[in-house]
Amino acid sequence: MTLVLAAHGSVDPRSAAVTHAVAGRIRRLRPWLEVRPAFLERTTPALTEVLTGLQGGGVVVPLLLADGYHARVDIPAIITRSGAPVQQAAVLGEDPALVTLLRQRLAEAGVSPVDDELGVIVVAVGSSNTAANARTATVAAALARGTRWAGVTTAFATGTQPDIAAAAATLRARGATRLVLAPWFLAHGVITDRVAATAAALDIPMAEPLGSHNLVAAAVLERYDAVLTAAAAA
């Protein structure tokens, strides 16, 4: 049963590089599993192309953090049009393992969990779906657990409020004297470059995105396995 790893796609090659790197990690974790990266836009191979050429059944796992328009509308429509015998898995979402990885990226940027003067801004892509935004906002609370930070809040890089400046003001009002950005993104790209520019203008350092990591690969496999388990139980 092929695992089709469906990523957003970008004009920035760094984004596709992370997708292919995650696919490589999945293959190393399960050498017997066929893994096919695919993209929704601006990058090849397109998801439509991969599904059309698929031999046998498969599971489409969205390499997406938010359960927004792409996961709810675009991918199901592409699957239906293709006629391929595949099922769609859940997005990666607010997986605890990915929150752990985000905490690791902050540590790599020199952030201490006991810094009680620090405010952390989790910055993510906003969605037109308010429920998806609400789910994304839960990452901040999960990230804060076990720390002594002055506060953790969410900012959205696109689509909705609060933006980074508003989130920074909120944390400073809570007593934070220093701030850091924690990007809730899988890869660098056009949007993260814009976020980095905003952060630099506000003199706020920024950690690295989640990137390619075995925790990301394991989260993808959990979504894949959940579909197979549900199908076997049906």
15 falls within a domain: yes
Residue 111 and residue 189 in one domain: yes
| Residue in this structure with the two tokens 């197979």, named with its chain if needed | 228
Residue 124 and residue 53 in one domain: no
Residue 103 and residue 197 in one domain: yes
Residue 82 and residue 146 in one domain: no
| pTM for the predicted model, two decimal places | 0.96
Amino acid at 21: A
Residue 109 and residue 135 in one domain: yes
- In Å, how far are 48, 64, 122, 150, 166 from 209, measured between CA atoms? 28, 13, 11, 22, 21
Residue 110 and residue 88 in one domain: no
Query: What tokens were used for 135?
Result: 């789910």
Residue 72 and residue 133 in one domain: no
Cβ count near 76 (within 10 Å): 13
24-40 pLDDT, tens digit per residue, is 999 999 999 999 999 99
122 falls within a domain: yes
- The residues with which 35 forms a beta bridge, in sequence order, are 3
217 falls within a domain: yes
pLDDT the model gives residue 230: 97
b or e along 107-140 (b: 16 or more beta carbons within 10 Å of the residue's beta carbon)? eeeebeeebeebbbbbbbbbbebeebbebbbebb
67 falls within a domain: yes
Residue 29 and residue 87 in one domain: yes
The average confidence (pLDDT) of the chain is 97
- In Å, how far are 98, 110, 131, 207, 214 from 210, measured between CA atoms? 8, 16, 23, 9, 11
229 falls within a domain: yes
Residue 176 and residue 127 in one domain: yes
Specify the long-range contacts of residues 161-166, CB closer than 8 Å, at least 24 apart.
164/121, 164/123, 164/195, 164/198, 164/199, 164/202, 164/204, 165/198, 165/202
57 falls within a domain: yes
Which residue intervals of 54-202 are DSSP H helices? 69, 75-82, 96-108, 130-144, 164-173, 190-201
Residue 23 and residue 85 in one domain: yes
206 falls within a domain: no
Residue 77 and residue 162 in one domain: no
Domain count, the chain: 2
Amino acid at 157: A
pLDDT in tens, the chain (234 residues): 999 999 999 999 999 999 999 999 999 999 999 999 999 999 999 999 999 999 899 999 999 999 999 999 999 999 999 999 999 999 999 999 999 999 999 999 999 999 999 999 999 999 888 999 999 999 999 999 999 999 999 999 998 999 999 999 999 999 999 999 999 999 999 999 999 999 999 999 999 999 999 999 999 999 999 999 999 998
Domain that holds residue 152: 96-201
CATH code for the domain in which residue 103 is found: 3.40.50.1400
Is the previous residue joined to 96 through a cis bond, with omega within 30 degrees of 0?
no
61 falls within a domain: yes
Is residue 102 within 8 Å of 72, Cβ to Cβ? no
Phi and psi angles of residue 136, each rounded to the nearest 5 degrees, phi first:
-60, -40
How far apart CA 129 and CA 111 sit, in angstroms, is 32
Residue 41 and residue 116 in one domain: no
Find the length of the chain. 234
pLDDT the model gives residue 55: 87
